């Protein structure tokens, strides 16, 4: 029985030979089947599919997708290629002149560009770590709460607000003359005379707080969905073995949350690299460039100074680095999954 | 035509009927469009239009213009009166307003993209006029055109306040005028007379001169006053800070803030060019010279004793600080007097605030041999016409431009929302003259002595630099000055950094 596989059993059934039916055997058989099937080469186990006309089929699907592909090409690929062309030009709106790679070479000596990268990394790291920590914490609390529906609705409210509007609201809250949060922070001794956005040492924290306030609920929501899928039997088994709730969370819940957290992390990482709405409203990159993260500088160059060629070069480098960092993150964070498999 | 079940309850429409209905609807739509179109087509030639005054005003009846403007009182007031313009001309004008940086982006894209979505633009001298001057219609040929209505006062320099027409209308050449002065924001000093009187004796005992503000008050005096108030505050007395700067997120006003101090001392300017007309090739900057380093140091000294929220206070925020009674003195634009004098919004209203020209240069701080003057600067908002628009729309826009800058409209705006006139004749009206004294129903008029009779006149008036890269220039000045004020770099490092970045910007 131990060596009997699903294929062998199916063959025996087809030949009219009886196969074991008691409960223990069934369980045993299922385990044996799954192990062997996965271990075998595909050719050996898979049944050959019904043969269709592959050429005709591909063409058919292509025609079905063609309108979407054409629209996508116009709204996505065409601007993308223009971006590349513009990055090689001294481009203004309506006028352009080839300048080869001057826009790129200039970036290496542009201190605002280089500082923009450093600030962007700092900003993203602060936002991501806080959002993940707080987001997971809130999700666990909500998951165990009787008021789950109410809490989810309440926590999601900041996310419903347009980022520029959120920026304006927080600008008033931080205001040194009449801002409530300014008064609170000062009363608690966190701030001196200057408001949070008026100091080069605290302004970055000011914009991070707004991002964390607005987007932590996204992490909470995704994590909450993940928590619903954590196998209860594993949790119960671990508890039976005497694990504390914290130990249970670390050794069972967290590994099961891994795939959803990776998605949440990637989403927020890419958002942080491109969302500037609230930061632009709050500080505009100041004071003294202390919050001029690269996307704000990119906006400034493109739509304030109208240097579209320079802006395109900055945008492309930002895009390339985002993709590379995204791939690295996936590889790094995906590794434990591979090992597990 | 379409599949209908046999037991359908509705009546089937056959193909012929469907086509008939479609054709009828299309014909109706076509006829309607033609009617609307014909109504908006200019039906008269300029020659016909010249036949009477009424015909001149009405020659573009049915046209539609969009005016993109800053959210300042004149635009709101004119929007309220737009029906009068429609009744006079038959031209529909949609006035869109936004913050200046947004206006700048929108009109910039429109102008440089060869579009004319905004036929009329708010041409703020440096942020909009300097970078986009070439995209505006030269209004000179329209002045005196017999086929267009004209303002009886005309448009020469002397009908506007001194320097106004050049400030917003002339760029890189004295021959062209691309905008008419529409509103103005001229800097002057707002100070708390009540606090000055209250603490006058203590101040005099310590500094050996009277605590007052006159046209001869220098930047050194401002530093003394700010230091005095800060000491009082630190000793536990319930007093506001003495002074605050415009060093917040709005780069242009940050640049204007330091420009006043720089110019007051020896009439120092950024580039060796005619500052009022500007230049597309400004050459090497004066930043980095001895005078600039000294002035940056003095500016830093003043910041150290000013309101601690300096780096977050743009122009609007700074005015809120003053309104809330948290500073005793500010250099602010005269259009803000209306809000300062409003008792429902301000603790500095009711005769507490005095108005004086911007501080004068301190003779002992001048190293370049120039005179000490009251460096007064401004933002003069003009109304200009998009060159990409058709000739007819340009002419229709001209009619709106001369109407909106006319004496009567400016007077109404001043009375209503607290505008800032640009025509001399408005200020000459008897009730405007009377409004210069308290009690007044036109609070902005309280500033006119300091602004129109003194600050905007030469040698005190400073405008530029008008350069095509004005916006990047403002940003560089703002960020480097902020670095100085936040102790990230010294005065000398700031001056040298500006020197290298500005020369790089202008490719010299």
User: Which is more confident, B323 or B33?
Assistant: B323
- Give the C-alpha separation, B364 to B295, whole Å: 12
- Give the C-alpha separation, B508 to B506, whole Å: 6
State whether residue B482 sits within 8 Å of chain A by CB: yes
Residues B373 and B460: beta-carbon distance below 8 Å: yes
Above 90 in pLDDT, residue B52?
A: no
Give percent above pLDDT 70 in chain B.
Answer: 94
pLDDT in tens, B63-111: 999 999 998 878 888 999 999 999 999 999 999 999 998 999 999 999 9
- Give the C-alpha separation, B256 to B269, whole Å: 12
User: Which is more confident, A341 or B301?
Assistant: B301
Return the sign of the alpha-carbon dihedral for residues B469, B470, B476, B479.
negative
User: Which is more confident, B117 or A98?
Assistant: B117
Distances (CA, A) of A249 to A184, A224, A239, A259, B61: 35, 14, 11, 15, 75
Residues B465 and A269: beta-carbon distance below 8 Å: no
DSSP string, A225-257: HHHTTS-HHHHHHHHHTT--HHHHIIIIIHHHH
| Per-residue pLDDT, B51 | 72
- The pLDDT of B146-163, averaged and rounded, is 95
With contacts defined as CB-CB under 8 Å, which chain B residues touch A198? 308-313
| Per-residue pLDDT, B263 | 97
For strands B329-333 and B179-192, give the pairing: antiparallel
Residues B295 and B262: beta-carbon distance below 8 Å: yes
- Give the C-alpha separation, B218 to B372, whole Å: 9
pLDDT in tens, A150-160: 999 998 999 99
> In the Cβ-directed half-sphere of B378, how many Cα atoms lie within 13 Å?
34
With contacts defined as CB-CB under 8 Å, which chain B residues touch A303? 105, 108-109
Confidence band, pLDDT 50/70/90 cuts, at residue A338: very low
The secondary structure of residue A319, as a DSSP letter, is: H
| Per-residue pLDDT, A11 | 63
Q: Which residues of A78-101 are buried (b: 16+ CB within 10 A; e: fewer)?
A: eeeeebeebbbbbbbbeeeeebee
| Per-residue pLDDT, B34 | 65
Above 70 in pLDDT, residue B41?
A: no
Tell me the nearest-neighbour CA distance from B30 into chain A, angstroms: 30
Is-cis flag, bond preceding B361, omega within 30? no
- Give the C-alpha separation, B469 to B8, whole Å: 71
Contact B321/A286, CB-based, under 8 Å? no
Contact B317/A94, CB-based, under 8 Å? no
The dihedrals phi and psi of A319, each to the nearest 5 degrees, come to -65, -50
For strands B378-385 and B120-124, give the pairing: antiparallel
Confidence band, pLDDT 50/70/90 cuts, at residue B36: low
Residues B394 and B58: beta-carbon distance below 8 Å: no
Is-cis flag, bond preceding A56, omega within 30? no
The secondary structure of residue B190, as a DSSP letter, is: E
User: Which is more confident, A90 or B427?
Assistant: B427
Residues 6+ apart with CB under 8 A from A61: none
Tell me the nearest-neighbour CA distance from A78 into chain B, angstroms: 18
State whether residue B504 sits within 8 Å of chain A by CB: no
With contacts defined as CB-CB under 8 Å, which chain B residues touch A285? 249, 479
ipTM: 0.85
Above 60 in pLDDT, residue A41?
A: no
| Per-residue pLDDT, A1 | 40
Q: First-to-last CA distance in chain B?
A: 74
Above 70 in pLDDT, residue A267?
A: yes
- The pLDDT of A110-117, averaged and rounded, is 95
State whether residue B102 sits within 8 Å of chain A by CB: no
Quick check: helix, strand or coil at residue B351? coil
| Per-residue pLDDT, B20 | 80
- Give the C-alpha separation, A250 to A243, whole Å: 10
10 Å CB burial of residue A241 (0-12, 13-18, 19+) is exposed
Chain A residue nearest residue B321, CA to CA? A177
Above 60 in pLDDT, residue A196?
A: yes
- Please report which residue ranges of chain A form alpha helices under DSSP H: 6-15, 23-39, 42-45, 54-72, 78-87, 102-107, 111-143, 148-160, 163-174, 180-187, 203-227, 232-240, 245-248, 254-274, 277-282, 294-303, 308-340
User: Which is more confident, A227 or B10?
Assistant: A227
Confidence band, pLDDT 50/70/90 cuts, at residue B60: very high
- Give the C-alpha separation, A175 to B313, whole Å: 9
With contacts defined as CB-CB under 8 Å, which chain A residues touch B472? 304-305, 307
**Greatest Cα-to-Cα distance within chain A, rounded to the nearest angstrom:** 90
Between A and B, how many CB-CB pairs are < 8 A?
102
């Amino acid at each position: 029985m131990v060596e009997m596989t699903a294929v062998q059993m199916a063959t025996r059934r087809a030949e009219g030979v009886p196969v074991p039916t008691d409960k223990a055997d069934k369980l045993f058989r299922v385990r044996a089947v799954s192990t062997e099937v996965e271990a075998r080469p595909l050719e050996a186990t898979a049944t050959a599919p019904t043969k269709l006309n592959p050429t005709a089929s591909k063409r058919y699907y292509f025609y079905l997708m063609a309108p979407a592909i054409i629209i996508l090409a116009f709204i996505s690929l065409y601007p993308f290629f223009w971006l590349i062309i513009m990055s090689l030009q001294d481009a203004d709106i309506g006028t352009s002149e080839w300048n080869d790679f001057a826009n790129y070479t200039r970036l290496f000596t542009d201190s605002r560009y280089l500082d923009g990268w450093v600030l962007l990394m700092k900003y993203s790291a602060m936002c991501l770590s806080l959002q993940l920590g707080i987001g997971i914490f809130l999700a666990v609390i909500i998951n165990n709460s009787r008021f789950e529906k109410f809490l989810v609705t309440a926590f999601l409210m900041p996310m419903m607000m347009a980022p520029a509007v959120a920026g304006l609201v927080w600008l008033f809250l931080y205001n040194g003359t009449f801002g409530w949060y300014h008064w609170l922070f000062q009363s608690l001794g966190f701030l001196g005379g200057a408001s949070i956005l008026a100091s080069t040492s605290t302004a970055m924290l000011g914009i991070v707080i707004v991002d964390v306030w607005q987007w932590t609920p996204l992490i909470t929501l995704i994590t909450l969905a993940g928590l619903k899928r954590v196998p209860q039997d594993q949790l119960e088994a671990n508890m039976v073995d005497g694990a504390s709730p914290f130990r249970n969370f670390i050794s069972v819940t967290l590994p099961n949350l891994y795939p959803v957290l990776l998605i949440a992390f990637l989403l927020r990482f890419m958002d942080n690299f491109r969302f500037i709405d609230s930061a632009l409203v709050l500080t505009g990159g100041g004071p003294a460039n202390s919050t001029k993260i690269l996307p704000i500088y990119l906006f400034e160059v493109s739509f304030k100074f109208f240097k579209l060629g320079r802006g395109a070069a900055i945008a492309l480098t930002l895009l390339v680095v985002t993709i590379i960092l995204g791939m690295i993150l996936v590889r790094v964070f995906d590794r434990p999954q591979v090992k597990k498999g | 035509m379409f599949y209908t079940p046999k037991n359908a309850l509705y009546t089937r429409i056959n193909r012929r009927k469907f086509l008939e209905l479609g054709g009828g609807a299309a014909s109706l739509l076509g006829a309607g469009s033609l009617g609307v179109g014909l109504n908006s087509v200019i039906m008269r030639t300029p020659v016909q239009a010249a036949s009477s005054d009424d015909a001149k005003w009405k020659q573009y009846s049915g046209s539609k213009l969009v005016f993109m403007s800053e959210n300042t009182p004149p635009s709101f007031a004119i929007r309220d009166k737009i029906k009068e313009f429609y009744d006079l001309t038959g031209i529909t004008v949609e006035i869109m307003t936004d913050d200046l940086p947004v206006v700048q982006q929108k009109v910039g894209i429109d102008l440089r993209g060869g579009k004319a979505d905004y036929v009329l633009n708010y041409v703020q001298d440096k942020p909009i006029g300097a970078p986009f001057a070439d995209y505006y219609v030269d209004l000179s040929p329209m002045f005196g055109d017999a086929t267009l209505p004209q303002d009886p006062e005309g448009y020469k320099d002397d009908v506007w306040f001194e320097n106004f027409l050049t400030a917003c209308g002339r760029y890189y050449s004295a021959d062209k005028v691309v905008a008419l002065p529409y509103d103005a924001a001229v800097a002057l000093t707002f100070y708390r007379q009540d606090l000055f009187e209250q603490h006058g004796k203590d101040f005099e005992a310590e500094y050996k001169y009277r605590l007052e503000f006159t046209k001869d008050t220098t930047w050194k005096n401002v530093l003394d006053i700010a230091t005095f108030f800060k000491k009082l505050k630190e000793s536990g007395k319930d007093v506001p800070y003495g002074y605050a700067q415009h060093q917040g997120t709005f780069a242009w006003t940050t640049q204007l803030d330091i420009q006043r101090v720089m110019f007051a001392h020896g009439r120092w300017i950024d580039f060796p060019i005619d500052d009022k007309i500007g230049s597309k090739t400004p050459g090497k900057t004066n930043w980095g010279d001895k005078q600039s380093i000294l002035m940056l140091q003095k500016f830093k000294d003043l910041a150290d004793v000013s309101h601690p929220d300096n780096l977050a206070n743009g122009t609007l925020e700074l005015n809120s600080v003053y309104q809330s009674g948290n500073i005793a003195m500010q250099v602010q634009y005269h259009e803000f007097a209306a809000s300062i004098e409003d008792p429902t919004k301000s603790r500095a209203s009711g005769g507490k605030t005095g108005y004086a020209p911007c501080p004068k240069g301190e003779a002992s701080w001048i190293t370049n041999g120039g005179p000490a003057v009251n460096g007064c600067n401004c933002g003069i908002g003009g109304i200009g016409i998009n060159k990409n628009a058709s000739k007819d729309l340009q002419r229709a826009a001209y009619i709106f431009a001369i109407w909106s800058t006319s004496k009567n409209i400016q007077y109404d705006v001043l009375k209503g929302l607290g505008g800032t006139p640009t025509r001399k004749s408005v200020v000459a009206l008897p009730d405007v003259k009377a409004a210069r004294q308290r009690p007044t129903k036109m609070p902005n008029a309280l500033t006119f002595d300091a602004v129109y009779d003194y600050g905007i006149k030469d040698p005190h008036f400073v405008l530029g630099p008008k350069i095509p890269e004005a916006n990047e220039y403002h940003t560089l000045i703002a960020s480097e000055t902020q670095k100085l004020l936040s102790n990230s770099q010294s005065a000398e490092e700031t001056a040298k950094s500006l020197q290298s970045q500005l020369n790089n910007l202008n490719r010299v």
